[in-house]
Structure 1
Amino acid sequence: MDRSSFFLSLLVCLLPVLQACPPSCHCHGGDLQHVICDNVGLKKIPKVPEQTRLLNLQRNNFPVLPTNAFREMKGLVSLHLQHSHIKEISSGAFRGLKQLVYLYLSNNDISVIKMGAFDDLTELTYLYMDNNKILDLPKGLLSPMINLFILQLGSNKIRELRSGAFSGTKDLRWLYLSDNSISSIQPGALDDVENLAIFHLDKNQLSTYPVAAMSKLRVVEDLKLSHNPMKVIPDNAFQSFGRYLETLSLDNTGLEKFTDHAFSGVTTLKTVHLENNRLTQLPSNFPFGKLEKLTLSNNPWHCSCQLAPLRKWLKASRNRPDGACSSPAQYRGQQIRDAAVLRSCKLPTKRSKKGSRH
């Protein structure tokens, strides 16, 4: 074979590789495993090499993700579609992506997700859909994602969590629903996600604490309910996961009271945020035992002997949080830790409970 024929045949062999990187995109990694098409004016999903593992399509224009849009990309592990003006995800849009682990759909205009949209995503572990216009999570929509670990749905327009909303996603551990319009969590809505460790529901419209739905949760460590118009925390609110709960955020809720047994079963609480509420007292079973941080400011605290355990904790606290008496009138403005009215209070003595230790 002469030299020109050799180079011609070599070029023919290399042609598929040379053409594999889509126009306007750049590709790197061994065998073009990473395809980057960030902000290049695309209006259709490009064809990429079969060996592609990461595909970055963010900041383009895909109003509808069609059925089978990624079907030939069977090796894809990470797919980036942020800021791409997506409004609708068709049924079967991600069909074929059985190895996908990361899916980024944040900062779009998604309001329509057809049933079957997430078919084949059995390996998906991280799903980011924050900052969209999602209204609802119908039963079965998320079911294919049996390995989902993190679900980010903050800053959407969800109004209600209905029974079965998370059916199938039994491995879900971190669920972010901050900044929606949720006013109701139906009994059964959280049955399939009993292993949640982080559950953020702040900046919603919950006016009552959803006792029945929350009682299905077993191991919540971080519960965020700030900025919900919630006046009362009822008995046994955290009991089902009380041995794990470490961080509780209830600030800016207009909270007026905890019932006497609100903290039943809570033993490991380390951080509690209660500022900017209407609390006058804390319940007798408030768990000071392992508490490290407590925010109290902007509450109308009534300085009576019921606050003696709080004063004791404040005196011992390193970070000296702000918490002032509002009543009786003669003590208004005095810090709880320094209030003279509390100095003569006797602290309740702990009665030993036989058989209460596990």
Structure 2
Amino acid sequence: MDSLSLLVLGVVLCFSCYGAFSCPKRCTCHVGIDTTEVVCPDVSLSRYPSDSLPGSTTSLTIQFTSLDNITAYDLRATPLLQELHLPGNRLSSLPAHLLVGLQHLHTIDLTGNLFQTLPPQVFHHAPLLTLVLKDNLLTNVSADWLPRTSNLTWLDLSGNKLSKGPSALLQRLTRLEILHLSQNHLEELPADSFHSLPALERLYLDENKLQALDAKAFSGNANLTHLFLQKNQLESLPAAVFHGLARLHYVDLSENKLGSLASGTLAEGMVWVDLSSNPWHCDAALVPLWKWLCGQSDRSEPTCVSPEALKGRVISQLTSAELSPVPAQ
């Protein structure tokens, strides 16, 4: 083959490669050895760009656009897709068989859309590990969204309108490690609420309306390491609520309505417990908490709200006499 023929062949191959990795208008594409990432942030985008996406796309982000519809047919254009990020769009519904054929998809992020409900089997057909439904309008969660053999390890349902925990769905998530239920309308946690989650490590329940916890709310969660309960309405805690949680070392109880804690509620192995911004009443009933705080080298510094004589004082800096004064003779 002469040099001219080689040159022509090279040009043809270059154009072929360029076509294979063409990038949709108003999007950016990053091509690596084993990955092709596409990001489309244009607010004027209103249609899924399936006809111009590289077939090798492994990660697709369409964010803060006017996109209001997506179909299983659209997703067929990217059979190698591993991550699908669709935050801040105008999606309000999804087809039941959306993920058919996506045998590599492990992450889907639907943060900040307009979903009030979703159809059964909507997240079947793909080996999902991470599902994010944060900041939508969901009032209920269906167990049928995911298959019975789901391998999901991360589920984010924060920022919705859930008044009850998704117990039926959680029964299918025996491998779940991280669960976000923050910023919902949860008022109670029945016994064994998360019993089906033996692998659970991080549980986010902050900014709900919880007024009390059942003593067995976290039974079965022996691998729990981080528990977030801040900004609720908790007035008391059962003494045994954290018993059996040997790995639990971070608990956030700040901004609740706690006035005291029963003896034995907090274990010595807890490395950090945030107790700030609670209405602590500093009298003899607070001695167990005072002793626990004094034994911690790394701690938050909650302060007394009452009685008036101790208001604003750091609890760990009080003396036993101040907490349990000897009655005047």
- Tell me which interval the TM-score lies in, with the shorter structure as reference length: 0.7 to 0.9
Q: Which runs of 5+ in 2 are unaligned?
A: none
In structure 2, relative to structure 1, the CA distance for the partners of 1:163 and 1:326 (3 Å cut) is closer
Return the offset for 1:209: 0.7
Which residue in 2 is equivalent to 1:39?
42
Check conservation: 2:272, 2:299, Cα contact below 8 A: no
Total equivalences in the alignment: 319
Mapping of residues 74-113 of structure 1, within 5 Å: 74-113=79-118
CA–CA distance in 2 between the matches of 1:9 and 1:317? 68
In structure 2, relative to structure 1, the CA distance for the partners of 1:121 and 1:256 (3 Å cut) is farther
Check conservation: 1:314, 1:320, Cα contact below 8 A: no
Which residue in 1 is equivalent to 2:57?
52
Return the offset for 1:259: 4.0
Which residue in 2 is equivalent to 1:133?
137
CA–CA distance in 2 between the matches of 1:181 and 1:344? 39
Superposed CA deviations along residues 231-268 of structure 1, whole A, max 9, x for unmatched, are 22114211232x111111112221244345545xx452
Which residue in 2 is equivalent to 1:219?
223
TM (normalized to structure 2)?
Answer: 0.81
CA–CA distance in 2 between the matches of 1:319 and 1:238? 18
Task: Identify the match of residue 202 of structure 1 among 203, 206, 209.
Answer: 206
Superposed CA deviations along residues 183-217 of structure 1, whole A, max 9, x for unmatched, are 24455642332211110101111222144442132
In structure 2, relative to structure 1, the CA distance for the partners of 1:36 and 1:333 (3 Å cut) is closer
CA–CA distance in 2 between the matches of 1:44 and 1:144? 33
% identity of equivalent residues: 22
Return the offset for 1:171: 1.6
Check conservation: 1:140, 1:166, Cα contact below 8 A: no
Check conservation: 1:307, 1:342, Cα contact below 8 A: no
Return the offset for 1:27: 2.8
Which residue in 1 is equivalent to 2:257?
254
Check conservation: 1:142, 1:166, Cα contact below 8 A: no
TM (normalized to structure 1)?
Answer: 0.75
Superposed CA deviations along residues 123-169 of structure 1, whole A, max 9, x for unmatched, are x2222222221222112323367332222222111111143222322
AA in 2 matched with 1:307: V
In structure 2, relative to structure 1, the CA distance for the partners of 1:21 and 1:98 (3 Å cut) is same
AA in 1 matched with 2:41: D
Check conservation: 1:98, 1:121, Cα contact below 8 A: yes
CA–CA distance in 2 between the matches of 1:250 and 1:92? 41
Which stretch shows the higher mean deviation, 55-64 or 16-25?
16-25
What SS is found at the alignment partner of 1:180? Answer: coil
AA in 2 matched with 1:110: F
Return the offset for 1:223: 0.8
In structure 2, relative to structure 1, the CA distance for the partners of 1:179 and 1:186 (3 Å cut) is same
2:306 aligned with 1:326: yes
Which residue in 1 is equivalent to 2:161?
157
